[in-house]
Amino acid sequence: MSPDGVEARRDDDFTEPGPIAKLLLAAFAWLDERYRIRNYADSIQHFYHQLNFELPRTHTEKYNLRVIWYWYPLYALGSIVFLAFIFATISGILLTFYYIPSTSSVMMEGVGEATQAWQSVALIMTEMPLGFMIRAVHFWSAMVMVSAVVLHMARVYFTQAYKKPRELNWLLGVVLFLLTLGLGYTGYILPWSQLSFWAGRIGLEMSLSTPILGKWLAGLLFGGVELGQETVTRMYVLHVILLPLLTFGASIAHVAIVWWQGIAEPH
């Protein structure tokens, strides 16, 4: 024992790494020799410390208060939105294994002529293992997402959390709100049922009535001035690729900003 009470490190303190640790070290050394990953790991660590990340503290923690503000549960709404989005994404991926985005005609027993899209949704409900449940999870997580995003927006508004320095995160929130509505609308069109068709019609007419850009907008969103196969293809691409990726990326940026700035204190 040294005078300051710290035991000196001796050579026989060294413990042999286990087989898994050895394997990981060997893999790390192999990669480091080729890609210098230690340098990148060091820069990431340096960047991390420069940013001085810390978890946002609540009003109560910051000021050591004993009061629990009664609206604190409402601070969970943003996370509920994100959780609903994750549920919708997982169930949506499962649905894409069976859904067919096609308006081609098929003959269905007991129904007559139908489109392939509509038939594939009917098969999800009747033939796909647990298909009805996966579709229900997809539907209800979408409902929860839209409701929670509206409530989250109201919470932010009524606690005045949109004020300086959070103006840009509010604007990013508006983008997220529009993306959420976009996901809901494009998903509604996909079964190509009567409801889908007429909702598509409303969207198409609205696009067409936009001054100057009307035709261009209808072409961009609905694939032309008439509803058809192009409409379903476009809605499908928007619903399963473009909007989910944008929503995911924007949500990560949104939450990262909350992390940086901390949660707004109730006024």
Q: Does 152 bind ligand HEM (CB under 6 A)?
A: yes
Residue with token string 């009805």: 132
Among 141, 169, 207, 231, binds ligand HEM (CB under 6 A): 169
Q: Does 87 bind ligand HEM (CB under 6 A)?
A: no
What the block records as the tokens of 29 is: 């050394």
Q: What's the 3-state SS for the chain? A: CCCCCCCCCCHHHCCCCCHHHHHHHHHHHHHHHHHCHHHHHHHHHHHHHHHCCCCCCCHHHHCCCCCCCCCHHHHHHHHHHHHHHHHHHHHHHHHHCCCCCCCCEEEECCCEEEEHHHHHHHHHHHCCCCHHHHHHHHHHHHHHHHHHHHHHHHHHHHCCCCCCCCHHHHHHHHHHHHHHHHHHHHHHHCCCCHHHHHHHHHHHHHHHCCCCCHHHHHHHHHCCCCCCHHHHHHHHHHHHHHHHHHHHHHHHHHHHHHHHHCCCCCC
C-beta closer to ligand HEM: residue 65 or 202: 65
Q: Does 26 bind ligand HEM (CB under 6 A)?
A: no
What the block records as the tokens of 137 is: 């999870």
Among 23, 41, 51, 174, binds ligand HEM (CB under 6 A): 174
Q: Does 82 bind ligand HEM (CB under 6 A)?
A: yes
C-beta closer to ligand HEM: residue 124 or 156: 156
The stretch among 35-43, 132-140, 181-189, 256-264 that binds ligand HEM (CB under 6 A) is 256-264
C-beta closer to ligand HEM: residue 173 or 187: 173
Q: Does 243 bind ligand HEM (CB under 6 A)?
A: no
Cα–Cα distance, 226 to 199 (Å, whole number): 13
The stretch among 62-70, 77-85, 133-141, 181-189 that binds ligand HEM (CB under 6 A) is 77-85
Q: Does 79 bind ligand HEM (CB under 6 A)?
A: yes
Q: Does 141 bind ligand HEM (CB under 6 A)?
A: no
Cα–Cα distance, 146 to 164 (Å, whole number): 26
Q: Cβ 79 to ligand HEM, closest distance in Å?
A: 5
Q: Cβ 261 to ligand HEM, closest distance in Å?
A: 7
How many residues of this chain interact with ligand HEM, rule: CB under 6 A?
A: 27
Dihedral sign for Cα atoms in the order 48, 50, 54, 58: negative
Among 106, 108, 217, 258, binds ligand HEM (CB under 6 A): 258
What the block records as the tokens of 77 is: 């709404």
The stretch among 41-49, 76-84, 211-219, 220-228 that binds ligand HEM (CB under 6 A) is 76-84
Which of 238, 206, 204 shows the shortest CA–CA distance to 222? 204
C-beta closer to ligand HEM: residue 170 or 188: 170
Q: Does 131 bind ligand HEM (CB under 6 A)?
A: no
**Which residues make up the interface to ligand HEM (CB under 6 A)?**
75, 77-79, 81-82, 149, 152-153, 156, 161-162, 166, 169-170, 173-174, 176-177, 180, 247, 251, 254-255, 258, 263-264
